[in-house]
Amino acid sequence: MTIVQNLGQKSESGIQLPAPQAINGGEAVAYAMGQIDPEVVAAYPITPQTFIIEKFSEYVADGTVNSEYINVESEHAAMSACVGATAAGGRSQTATSGPGLALMYEMLWVASGMRLPIVMHLCSRSFSAPLNILCDHSDVMGMRESSWPMLIGASPQEAYDQAVVMPTIAENKSVLLPVANVLDGFTVTHSVERVEVLPDEVVKEFAGEYEPDIWALQPGSTATFGTLDANDFYFEHKRQQVEAMKNSLEVVRTQLNAFGEISGRPMNLVEEYLLDDAEVALVVLGSSEGMVRAAIDQARKDGIKVGMLRIRLFRPFPVQDVRKALEGIGAVGVLDRAIAFGTPGNGLMQDLATSTRTMPDRPLLMDFVYGLGGRATPKQLFRQAIDQVVTMNESRVEPDEPAYLGLK
């Protein structure tokens, strides 16, 4: 697999690293997939996920990996093929975006309901119509209740790092759920950045071998998958999934820490920026964090005590970590990159409101919708959001309606 000839530096943990790559987020994910070398990859091409499967099918064609690549006829079939492959005891992965995820929707629930540890790389994209191929989190919000642990990265480096960690979360015996590695369409998938990769053997050792349970559909197995549950035990099986989702939270924490020790790049369930002395804060998902940081740096120069909280583990929502990070903060601006039409709060706002409602001195919350359909949100707009949150902190009055950043 190693296609990097020149050796780079040694890592803090003493590993001889390959030379850093200049690659985009899609290729970074494909590289991690290649190193993990799952038995089956089934995917259907859709922008902006295309880089991942183009690169991966190149590895397959070149014989760099041993994976079986199934060129399916739709995303519904892609997830179905992964369900079959994983039920048969293999590792399987797929990648998709927005409308592709929508076509997969039925099978998302089948995969999690059958407790199959599939890894999906979701390159976030808006939903049509009107037609739009650019980034927002409509698709992310569309699958948030389907019992998939979801990690959202902010850069090609994080997309790679998370891709290496994902199978170890999914396959943990206390979890056994499919997992999603979310990377923002275009801003991460198509952005060429410096990506430090790990040597093949380090990734292979970290990811380990998938050891399916005794019931895998292999010769001699007497198991049946997809049995009729109806009103007999469906309720109980869903309750089991609640427990598996709960279990996954600490598994994610442990695995991110373990990976951080090897790579020297620590990752947490939530990432904080200048929150220690902050009076107000912005909460964000994904790659917009760079622009939010820039806005915060600027506001700090003007004497505003503002910080940022980025949610990496979006599902299960890390309630305790979020509460701890926001303790002592007077007012919070929640940055939503998707609209939950007709609901009393958009996706992330709902999560923040329910997570903070029992805090003794809960922060006031204000929702900002931004960046729909790939609309660029420059730091001036995030700066406006900061100023509005400061005003709310002074007036102590929470608005009922969200504000729309950069709406014409």
Partner 1 sequence: MPEQPMLGQPLWQQIQQGGIGVNPGSTERVQTGDWRTEVPVIDMERCTHCMICWVDCPDASFEVANEKLIAVDLNHCKGCGICAQVCPVKCIEMVPDSAENRETTPSDGAG
Tell me how far, at minimum, the Cβ of 209 lies from partner 1, in Å. 21
Tell me how far, at minimum, the Cβ of 396 lies from partner 1, in Å. 44
Query: Measured between alpha carbons, how far is 145 from 136 in angstroms, rounded to an integer?
Result: 18
214 contributes a contact to partner 1 by CB under 8 A: yes
Residues 6 or more apart whose CB falls under 8 angstroms from that of 86 comprise: 40, 92, 111, 116, 117, 118, 212
Tell me how far, at minimum, the Cβ of 106 lies from partner 1, in Å. 16
* Residue of the chain from 224, 231, 303, 341 that contacts partner 1 (CB under 8 A): 224
Tell me how far, at minimum, the Cβ of 255 lies from partner 1, in Å. 21
- Binding mask 160-179 toward partner 1 (x if CB under 8 A, else -) reads ----------------x---
My answer on whether omega of the bond before 129 falls inside 30° of 0, hence cis, is yes
Residues 6 or more apart whose CB falls under 8 angstroms from that of 122 comprise: 49, 95, 96, 97, 101, 139, 140, 143, 150, 180, 181, 182, 183
Q: Decide: 386 and 370 in contact? Cβ < 8 Å.
A: no
Query: Measured between alpha carbons, how far is 383 from 35 in angstroms, rounded to an integer?
Result: 41
Strands 40-43 and 68-71, by their bridges, are: parallel
Tell me how far, at minimum, the Cβ of 115 lies from partner 1, in Å. 4
Sign, CA torsion 90/91/96/98: positive
218 contributes a contact to partner 1 by CB under 8 A: no
Amino acid at the residue 286: G
404 contributes a contact to partner 1 by CB under 8 A: no
Nearer to partner 1, 88 or 294 (CB): 88
Count of all residues that appear for the chain in the document? 408
Where does this chain touch partner 1 (CB under 8 A) — which range of 11-19, 91-99, 216-224, 304-312?
Answer: 216-224
* Residue of the chain from 32, 33, 53, 114 that contacts partner 1 (CB under 8 A): 114
121 contributes a contact to partner 1 by CB under 8 A: no
Q: Decide: 202 and 160 in contact? Cβ < 8 Å.
A: no
- Binding mask 229-258 toward partner 1 (x if CB under 8 A, else -) reads x--xxxxxx-xx---x--------------
99 contributes a contact to partner 1 by CB under 8 A: no
115 contributes a contact to partner 1 by CB under 8 A: yes
CA neighbours closer than 13 Å in the CB half-sphere of residue 254: 11
Q: Which residues bind partner 1 (CB under 8 A)?
A: 113-116, 176, 214-215, 222-229, 232-237, 239-240, 244
